[in-house]
Amino acid sequence: MENEELLKSVTEKAQVWLGDAYDAETRAEVKHMLDAEDKTELIESFYRDLEFGTGGLRGIMGAGCNRMNIYTVGAATQGLANYLKEAFADLDQIKVAVAHDVRNNSRKFAEVVANVLSANGIKAYLFDNFRPTPELSFAIRHLGCQSGVNITASHNPKEYNGYKAYWADGAQIIAPHDVNIINHVNQIKGAESIKFEGNPELIEIVGKEIDDAFLAAIKELSLSPEAIKNNSDLKIVYTPIHGTGVELIPASLMNYGFTNIIHVPEQDVPSGDFPTVESPNPENPPAMAMAIAKAKEMGADLVMASDPDADRIGCVIRDNKGEYVLINGNQIAMILLYYLMTRNAELGKLTGKEYIVKTIVTTETIKAIADANNIKMYDCYTGFKWIASVIRDNEATCRYLGGAEESYGFLAEEFARDKDAVSAVSLMAEAAAWAKDKGMDFLQMLQDIYIKYGFSREEGISVVRKGKSGAEEIVAMMKNFRSNPPKSLGGSDVVIIKDYDSLELTDVKAGKVEKLEMPTTSNVLQFFTEDGTKISVRPSGTEPKIKFYVEVKGHMASGAEYDKAIADADAKIALIKKDLGI
């Protein structure tokens, strides 16, 4: 009976999409789903409306209310436009910057956004071609816009696309604007409510002038020009993995003074099909395989990559056997923050008013580094909109040095408010040159950090559960972890439980419950054990998966103990995964 009701509901919703308000291509695709004997695609495309959440939209492209298409993009933009006109009613001209990545349909969707905005009397600055996500954030501030929209699905598979909404400070939207925009978007009930006919007079194409200003601002972040001069021929392999970093990241490296940038020609081709990789995600070793092969061929010192929208960085270094190995997002964060804090100290730039930011699922070793340097560290939720929120709260009184999340995102600047692979790659290369001047490579630098501040080993595990049944299973898993929390993990008792949904910290041994001070709730659980292990669990906000973040502690007195520390930590992580049933 339940399946009959569901099929009846989706059929009724789909039949609306056969009306004259929808184009011929869309109507044909919907009719094909309705006529098909197997109704799976119909159900998946119409069983719900693609939700405009706090991060915007993200979904598989295709016809239907649960898909990314010109109508779901148009509805999101109409809702945004309605809210902007309400929020900025006193302005003569509201302005919005619009950018997109290399994905299939991204240009089309970006043009829809510009048309809908302009049809509503809002000026749209539309980039002439694909651009890195952080440049959109920069452009909002640079052009004095009230909002921004970026069409991107980051590192998701090629079937996906997405829609990110930004506010006037260049950050992705948070309260109260997120809820207000969502409410306005939810009021758009059909294609008839969307103003698709754009006003060309209110659409301005932008490009090189923004590139030049963005690159100039990134150059100002450089702290070690002498080290770069001494090591300008550092062999750096860089790949954009078919994405938006293809021009600006090599340009930024050259702007910094690096002269030996080695390309991976096959992956310099921008393409929404990502033809040389199964997944364009620089945290996955297969995505880095061609760059590593090029590094072996050329004897490179460093290998770096950016994801398709160039906001996340991947990095490969040489291990003590000379092999090229991928380091994780926590290690990238540690290297960059260690470099920025240490180099600022060397230059006498620390005044006691500096701070860094990390997300709650990112390694706690960063806090040890910050504490040792008397630099304040803020913890925030996953997502750079929360790091941007901390920057906004502190920009008048304190100096931001950098912010990081374990998922390969880093932001070194205040002139953009979203993670930035353009500046991160540039500073990573600079850190390598600085370390080389001190007689170290990145492996030795990492080992030095672990010796000084304590060894940690992290692993992220994503359990994918697709579709309606998968979403329900993820909800059930989180419910079970709350009602039946683990008593021990990896042989160590759980002593603290943090539930960010209820904002409660439970001291298991003392039997006490305290309130967590956070700006809002979030569907995240954390378990801390007696031996310093930290496990975080949360559903992804953008993908059909539940994520586990495992961090274990260890001891390392010298570089010679590095391999043993890793082996011991990996054995403990294996036990924890078994305990969690993943």
Q: Which are the contacts of 575, defined by CB distance < 8 A and separation ≥ 6?
A: 489, 490, 491
Long-range pairs for 10-17: beta carbons < 8 A, 24 or more residues apart: 10/39, 10/42, 10/43, 10/45, 10/46, 10/47, 11/42, 13/46, 13/65, 14/42, 14/45, 14/46, 14/64, 16/190, 17/63, 17/64, 17/65
Two tokens at 369?
A: 């580094």
Phi, psi of 110 (to 5 degrees): -65, -40
What is the CA 164 to chain-centroid distance, rounded? 11
Within 13 Å, how many C-alpha atoms sit on residue 515's CB side? 5
Other Cβ atoms within 10 Å of 40 Cβ, number: 10
Fill in the amino acid letter for 347.
Answer: L
Residue linked to tokens 């003392």: 510
- Cα–Cα dist 525/575, whole Å: 19
Fill in the amino acid letter for 351.
Answer: T
The β-bridge partners of 53 are 56
DSSP-derived letter for residue 153 is: -
441 to 314, 333, 364, 572: CA distances (angstroms) = 17, 16, 23, 28
Is 154 a residue of the active site? yes
Q: Which ranges of 221-328 would DSSP assign to H, the alpha helix?
A: 225-230, 245-256, 289-298
Give, in degrees to the nearest 5, the angle at Cα 520 between 459 and 310: 50
**Set 137, 154, 407, 536: catalytic member:** 154
- What single string gives the DSSP state of each residue in 538-568? EE-SSSSEEEEEEEEEE--SSGGGHHHHHHH
Q: What sign for the dihedral angle of Cα 250, 254, 258, 262?
A: positive
CB 402 within 8 A of CB 336: yes
Percentage helix, strand, coil for the chain under 3-state DSSP, each rounded to 5: 40, 20, 35
148 to 123, 304, 393: CA distances (angstroms) = 11, 28, 21
DSSP-derived letter for residue 50 is: P
- Cα–Cα dist 432/263, whole Å: 18
- Cα–Cα dist 210/170, whole Å: 14
- Strands 123-127 and 95-100, by their bridges, are parallel
Peptide bond into 286 cis (omega under 30): no
Q: What sign for the dihedral angle of Cα 430, 269, 212, 115?
A: negative
Any idea which residues carry the catalytic annotation? 154
